[in-house]
Amino acid sequence: MQKQTSGSLSQVQSAGPIPTLPDYQSDGFFDELVDQNNLARPDAEALVSLFNRLPPKELLRRQHAIEQALYRMGITFTVYSDKSGTEKIMPFDVVPRIVSAILWKHIDAGLRQRIRALNRFLCDVYNEREIIQEGIVPAELVDTAPAYLKECRGLKPFNDVWCHITGTDLVRDNSGTVYVLEDNLRCPSGVSYVLQNRHVMKRNFPQVFGASRVRPVTDYTSRLFQLLRDVAPPHVSDPTVVVLTPGVFNSAYYEHSFLAQKMGVQLVEGRDLVVESDLVYMKTTRGLQRVDVIYRRIDDAFLDPKTFRKDSVLGVAGLMDAYRAGNVTLANAPGTGIADDKVIYAFVPDMIKYYLDEEPILPNVPTYVCQKDEDREYVLAHMDELVIKAAGESGGYGILIGPQATQEERDAFAKKINEDPRNWIAQPTLQLSRAPTVVDDHLEGRHVDLRPYILCSRPDDVWVLPGGLTRVALRKGSLVVNSSQGGGSKDTWVVAEQGQAIASVHGDDTDPPEH
Amino acid sequence: MLSRVAESIYWMSRQAERAENLARFIEVTLHMTLDQPEYLVDPWEPLVQVTGDNEWFKKKYGKATCQNVVQFLAFDGEYHSSMLTCLRASRENARSVREALSTEAFEQLNNFYHFVRDSSPPQLTDPTADFFDQVRDYALMWTGVLDSTMAHNTAWHFMNIGRLLERADKTSRILDVKYFNLLPRVEDVGTAVDDLQWSTLLLAISGFEAYRREHQLMDIEKIVAFFLFHRTFPRSIYSCIAGVDRSLREIESESESELPGQARQRIAALRHRLENTNVKEVIAGGMHQFIDRLQVELNAVGDSLGQDYFYATYSA
C-alpha cells in the first residue's frame, strides 16, 4: 500500500536487523537496555527502535520539553541559600529504564517476603523479643540503635502492621543479580516523581507505551488512600485521613502536597492539630474536627514534643498518648526505623528464615558489621576495596567509597570505626548496572538503582507498585544516585505479562486495574 | 476546611489581585503619557502616593520618574508590595495550600510568577511594551482558571473574598488618589485634558466600554457613581462588597454557626450604607473623606475574618 513510508520505519516493521543503539558503548558494564553486544534486550526493542527512528536532536528536544513541563508544574527544589528563590527541577532523564515481566515477578515476590519479615521483626522487637532471646539478633545492637524507641515498647499497632509504606532500594551488579541495598521504613520519598515522570513521559512517547506493554502506576494514590482507611482504628466506620508534613520548607514538601491532593485529604502541619483527652483534632473554619489516621511525613523524633524531642515545633503535643490509647493510627508507626538501621539490615535474611521459615528471594548486599571483631578487622584491612557507611545516616552522607578515597580519608574513617564500631558497616563496591542516559546530544551509560514502593495493610496483604523510582548518577562514572548528591531520575517501565493491565496511551489511566 | 489553609488561600488571592492592580495602574499611566506628551500634570507622583509608601520611595529613589516608578511598583524585590513581591508571596501561599487548589490553578499562578520574574526591567518603561498587557492577560486567566476548575466551596469563597476585598480597596484608591491628585478642582471639569483623565480612570478598571454603553457622555457624577455603586460591573465597589457578602453567607451557612460572625455583620452594614447613599451626597460630603472611611471599613472586615475563621480559639 504505502510505498513511500520512510525507509527506517519500514525496516523496523519488517524482519529487519535487530535494533541496536549506534555509537553507544556498554563498556563491559551490565546495561539495563542493551546486552553486551549492544543489541536491545527483548523488552527494550520497541524503545530502541523508536530512538533509532528519531531525527537528530529530537531526543534532546524532548528532554528539554519535559524539563520545561516539570518546571511549569512547579515540581522543583528551592535552593535555600538563594534569597530570590531560585528553583531547580529534579534532574530527569528522558530514556526510561525497562524491567522485564519475569524479573519483576522475582522482585515483587522478594519484596513482599521481605516486608512480611520486617513487620514480624518490628512486632517482636518491641514486644516479646524472641529473636533476641534466640540469639539471632544481638540485644546490644538493637538497644544501642538510635532508631530504637523505648517509648514504643509494648505497642501493638492495628493489624500488627508497623511499616505500611516502604521504599526499598535495589541495585544490580555486573552479573545482573538484584540485591537489596537498603530498606526505607520511616518516611520514604520519591513516589510522586514516579507518578509525575510517567505523566510527562506518556505525553512525549505515547506510541512506545502501547508497544512496550507498560504496567500502570497511577492507581498508587488510590491504593495508598484505601490502605490508610483500612488501617484506621477498628471502631471508626468512616475515618478521616490526613497527611502530616513538616511544612513548605521541607525538601519533600512537594510530594506531601501531591499525595494529599491526589487522595483528596487535608495536608496538615503540626500547628493545625491539637490533642485533647487523647483524641486528635484539626483546627478548621468550622471548629475542631476529629482525625483518625495520620500519614505522617515527620521523623519520629519530631512527632510529639511531650514524648520525644522537647524542642520540636513540627509535631503535636500528646500525639503519642492518643496513639497509645488507640484513638489514632500513625503510618508508618513510630519506631519502624530500627528495622532499617544499616546494622540491623545485615540480619534481614536471618529474619526471613526465622519468622517465615523461607529462603530469602532477594539477597542482601554482603555486609560487614564493624561491631563484630572479625568483620571489623577485615574492614580495616581492606578499606581500599569497600564502601563504608555510617549506620545512622542516609541520603548519601557519611559514606566512604574506599577505592576512590585518599589514604588520609581512609585513615580518618578507620579512626571513626575504632572509636564507635557500632555505627559502621562496610560492603564490597558493587559495579551498579547502567542505563543509556542523555548526555548533551547523545546517549552514554550511567549507573542506576531502583526504589520500588510497597504498601502493607495486613501482614498477609502486601502490594508492590509495578515500577518505582529509578535514580541515575548523572556524573560520568559516579555511583552516587541520591538527589541530594546530584542524582536524577528516570521513568521505570515494568513490562506486563499476558492478561495484566497496561498503561493507557492517552491521558491518565486513572481506573484501577481489575483483579 | 483548615483555618491555616483558609487564611493562606485568602492571602494568595489578595496578593495576586494586588499585583494585577499594580499592572493596571502602570499600564494606564504609560498610555496616558503617550497622549499627553507635554506633561500638563506629572502622572508618576500619584502612583507612588497610591501606595501610601511615599517616604520609603523618596529615600530609595528620590524624584518620581517613569523609570523608577515602574521599577518600584513592578520589580522592586525590596519593596513589600511590588508586583513581583506580591506574586512571589501569592505563589508561596499557593504552594503551601497546593493540595487545596486545582492543579491548573497552581500552574497558572506559577507561570504568572515566572513570567514577571523573568521579564527584563529595562525594556518595560517603553509604553508600547506589551508587558503590562500580558500581565493583565495572565491575571484574567488566573481568575478564570480558579472560577472554572475549582468547586465553589468554602475554599473558593475565601479566595473570592480575598480578591474582592483587595479589588474594592484598589478601585477606591484609583478613584481617590488618581483623580483628585490630577484634577483637584471641580472647576477644571470639562476640558479636553479632563476628558482624557476620565477615560483613563475608567480604563484602569476595564470599565470604559461598559460606561460608554450606559452613558455615552463623560460626566463626573455618573463616573463616580459607576465606580462606587454600579450593581453588576465586577470592579465597582458595590459589586465587590456584595460579592464578599454573598461568599460570607455561603461560608456561614456551611459552618452551622448560630450567630453571624463579625465580618458578616461589618460587610452587611457596609453594603447597606452603599445601597442607601447617592453620588450627590458623596461629592457634597467630600469624596476623599468618603473613600477614606470606606478603606477603614474594608480593613476592619479583613481583621474580622482573622477573628472569625483564621485564628479563633478552639475548644473541643
- Which tens digit of pLDDT belongs to each residue from B77-90? 899 999 999 999 99
Work out whether the CA dihedral A292, B250, B13, B162 comes out positive or negative.
negative
Among chain A residues, the shortest Cα distance to B4 is held by: A272
Measured between beta carbons, which residues in chain A are less than 8 angstroms from residue B99?
243, 257-258, 260-261, 265-267
Lowest mean pLDDT among A3-17, A434-448, B261-275, B278-292: A3-17
Contact B88 A285 (CB under 8 A): no
Given pLDDT bands bounded at 50, 70 and 90, which one contains residue B187? low
Quick one: pLDDT at residue A493? 96
Region B177-188: mean pLDDT is 58
Contacting A residues, span 227-256, partner chain B, CB-CB under 8 Å: 243, 247-248, 253
Contact B171, B240 (CB under 8 A): yes
Contact B4 A269 (CB under 8 A): yes
3-state SS string for B224-272: HHHHHHCCCCCCCHHHHHHHHHHHHHHHHHHHCCCCCCHHHHHHHHHHH
Summarised one tens digit per residue, pLDDT across range B1-53 is 899 999 999 999 999 999 999 988 888 888 777 766 565 667 788 888 878 89
* Dist CA B156 CA B144 (whole Å): 12
Contact A266 B106 (CB under 8 A): no
Classify A266 as helix, strand or coil: strand
Contact B4 A267 (CB under 8 A): no
Region B199-222: mean pLDDT is 87
Question: Which 8-state DSSP code applies to residue A245?
Answer: -
Quick one: pLDDT at residue A8? 41
The DSSP annotation for A149-215 comes to: -GGGTT---GGG-S-SEEEEEEEE-TT--EEEEEEE-SS---HHHHHHHHHHHHHH-HHHHHHHTBP
Say which amino acid occupies A6.
Answer: S
First to last CA, chain A: 42
* Dist CA A491 CA A209 (whole Å): 12
Among chain A residues, the shortest Cα distance to B112 is held by: A72
Q: Are strands A329-331 and A368-369 parallel, antiparallel or unpaired?
A: unpaired
Q: Name all domains of chain A by residue range, CATH numbers in brackets.
A: 368-428 (3.30.1490.270)
Q: Is B314 on the interface with A (CB under 8 A)?
A: yes
Contact A489, A448 (CB under 8 A): no
Classify A118 as helix, strand or coil: helix
Contact A147, A300 (CB under 8 A): yes
Among chain B residues, the shortest Cα distance to A258 is held by: B99
The alpha carbon of B114 is separated from its chain's Cα centroid by a whole number of angstroms, namely: 21
**Which of A340, A335, A334 is closest to A294 using CA atoms?**
A334
* Dist CA A274 CA A297 (whole Å): 17
* Dist CA B153 CA A311 (whole Å): 37
Question: Which 8-state DSSP code applies to residue B179?
Answer: I
Summarised one tens digit per residue, pLDDT across range A259-272 is 999 999 999 999 99
Classify B111 as helix, strand or coil: helix
Q: What is the CA radius of gyration of chain B?
A: 20
Contact A40, A20 (CB under 8 A): yes
Portion of chain B with pLDDT greater than 90, in percent: 54
Quick one: pLDDT at residue A513? 40
Which residue in the set A248, A260, A287 is minimally distant from B95, CB to CB?
A248
Region B215-235: mean pLDDT is 90
For residue A153, CA distances in Å to A123, A315, A336 come to 9, 21, 12
Contact B107 A84 (CB under 8 A): no
Alpha helices (H) along chain B: 3-35, 44-51, 54-61, 66-70, 83-96, 103-118, 131-149, 154-173, 180-182, 192-204, 208-215, 220-229, 237-255, 262-275, 279-285, 287-305
For residue B203, pLDDT beyond 70: yes
Does B122 or A271 have the greater pLDDT score?
A: A271
Given pLDDT bands bounded at 50, 70 and 90, which one contains residue B315? very low
**Entry pTM:** 0.87
State how far residue B99 is from chain A, nearest Cα, in angstroms. 4
State how far residue A307 is from chain B, nearest Cα, in angstroms. 23
Say which amino acid occupies A25.
Answer: Q
Contact B3, B312 (CB under 8 A): yes
| The residue to which cell 442607601 is assigned | B276
Quick one: pLDDT at residue B274? 95
Beta strands in A260-322 (DSSP E): 266-268, 273-276, 279-284, 287-290, 293-296
Measured between beta carbons, which residues in chain B are less than 8 angstroms from residue A269?
4
**Which of B168, B161, B194 is closest to B310 using CA atoms?**
B161
Contact A76, A87 (CB under 8 A): yes
Contact A272 B4 (CB under 8 A): yes
Contacting A residues, span 365-404, partner chain B, CB-CB under 8 Å: none
Classify B95 as helix, strand or coil: helix
Contact B88 A281 (CB under 8 A): no
Contact A74 B103 (CB under 8 A): no
Classify B26 as helix, strand or coil: helix
Classify A388 as helix, strand or coil: strand
Q: Are strands A266-268 and A241-244 parallel, antiparallel or unpaired?
A: parallel
Contact B255 A266 (CB under 8 A): no
Given pLDDT bands bounded at 50, 70 and 90, which one contains residue B124? low
Which residue in the set B96, B99, B255 is minimally distant from A285, CB to CB?
B255
Q: Is B153 on the interface with A (CB under 8 A)?
A: no
Residues of chain A under the 70 pLDDT cut? 1-17, 77-86, 393-396, 483-485, 504-515
Question: Which 8-state DSSP code applies to residue A294?
Answer: E
Joined together, the cell numbers standing for residue B165 give 476585598
Joined together, the cell numbers standing for residue B144 give 478564570
Q: Is B87 on the interface with A (CB under 8 A)?
A: no
Summarised one tens digit per residue, pLDDT across range A421-471 is 988 999 998 889 999 999 888 899 999 999 999 999 999 899 999 999 999
* Dist CA B9 CA B160 (whole Å): 9
**ipTM of model:** 0.81
* Dist CA A485 CA A463 (whole Å): 30
Contact B95 A266 (CB under 8 A): no
Which residue in the set A74, A276, A283 is minimally distant from B107, CB to CB?
A74
| The residue to which cell 549506534 is assigned | A22
**Which of A333, A293, A301 is closest to A123 using CA atoms?**
A333
Measured between beta carbons, which residues in chain A are less than 8 angstroms from residue B100?
261, 267
Classify A270 as helix, strand or coil: helix
How many interchain CB pairs under 8 A, A with B? Answer: 75
Contact A316, A364 (CB under 8 A): no
Quick one: pLDDT at residue B30? 82
Quick one: pLDDT at residue B63? 92
Neighbours of A477 (CB within 10 A): 9
State how far residue A82 is from chain B, nearest Cα, in angstroms. 13
* Dist CA A232 CA A292 (whole Å): 6
Measured between beta carbons, which residues in chain A are less than 8 angstroms from residue B256?
286
Contact A285 B92 (CB under 8 A): no
Portion of chain B with pLDDT greater than 70, in percent: 86
Contact A260 B254 (CB under 8 A): no
- B/e letters for A369-389, b = 16+ CB within 10 Å, e = fewer, are bbbbeebbeebbeebeebbbb
For residue B316, pLDDT beyond 80: no
Contact A316, A303 (CB under 8 A): yes
Cis peptide before A250 (omega within 30 of 0): no
Burial (CB count within 10 angstroms: exposed 0-12, middle 13-18, buried 19+), residue A398: middle
Lowest mean pLDDT among A387-396, B142-151, B191-200: B191-200
Query: Maximum CA pair distance of chain B?
Result: 67
Quick one: pLDDT at residue A15? 47
Quick one: pLDDT at residue A511? 42
- Residues pairing with A145 in the sheet: none
* Dist CA A513 CA A506 (whole Å): 16
Q: Is B2 on the interface with A (CB under 8 A)?
A: yes
Quick one: pLDDT at residue B26? 86
Joined together, the cell numbers standing for residue A343 give 546494622
**Which of A247, A253, A239 is closest to A268 using CA atoms?**
A247
Which residue in the set A72, A265, A276 is minimally distant from B316, CB to CB?
A276
Region B120-128: mean pLDDT is 62
Q: What are phi and psi of B92, to 5 degrees?
A: -60, -40
Does B180 or A276 have the greater pLDDT score?
A: A276
Contact A152, A300 (CB under 8 A): no
* Dist CA A337 CA A333 (whole Å): 9
Measured between beta carbons, which residues in chain B are less than 8 angstroms from residue A314?
none
State how far residue A286 is from chain B, nearest Cα, in angstroms. 5
